[in-house]
A = this chain, B = another copy of it.
Amino acid sequence: MSNWTDIAALPELSERSLVRLSGLLPMDVPKGTVLFQPGEAVKGFVIMLEGRVDVFLTGPTGREILLYAVEPGQSCVQSTLGLMGGEDYSGEAITRGPARLVLVPKEMFLTLMGEDDGFRDFVFRAFAKRMQTMMHLLEKVAFTRVEARLAQILLERCEAGVLTATHAEIAVMIGSAREVVSRRLDALAKRGILHLERGRVEIRDFETLEVLAETD
């Protein structure tokens, strides 16, 4: 009788809440699925079980910026926003790999918010955390140079010193343009800090990169 509510990093919920939630079926979605788009009505409250979802903001010119990533055990703040304030999504969410998630219908969400302290706390904390993330992002976009943001994302997202992504994808992550990223990466490669291959960035000099990430 293993249930998804065991897996998720949910806080202590009441017995009644757990029963309610366990009635919901987790859904599996393949990589690249668009979970929601700007202007779409909110369907319910999303809890991630496996995989990761990237949430982007798209500008009128088509340029995009990564707002945040939703990791397992977290909820999607965008959906909460819609459920509480009544406004539609303004971001776009895409699964970054195969993912498993649970969709809590609006009615059940509101019921849980009203009667379960643990659930409310969970939602509120998620909210507060995202807000902080957004403020940091705003700070970065407004005040930090591209080179520093680039260094940061490379260090954050690399696996075993390698980031598997195209220049265009990296540009979206840091909210810049592809050409700019290409030029910056090129400059760093010429300094021996990185090694570039098609769709792949390999970090050669972590220390210097860490210094660059902190330089304003």
Contacts and interface: CB of A to CB of B under 8 A. Distances in A.
Interface stretch (A13-21, A94-102, A135-143, A194-202): A135-143
A128 B84 contact: yes
A142 B81 contact: no
A57 B125 contact: no
Interface in A31-90: 57, 59-61, 63, 65, 67, 77, 80-81, 84-85, 87, 90
A120 interface: yes
A134 interface: yes
A109 interface: no
B139 A57 contact: yes
Contacts of A57: 135, 138-139, 142
A107 interface: no
Given A59-B144, A77-B131, A127-B131, 11 more contacts: A57-B139, A59-B139, A60-B216, A63-B143, A81-B128, A81-B131, A85-B132, A87-B132, A90-B132, A90-B136, A141-B142
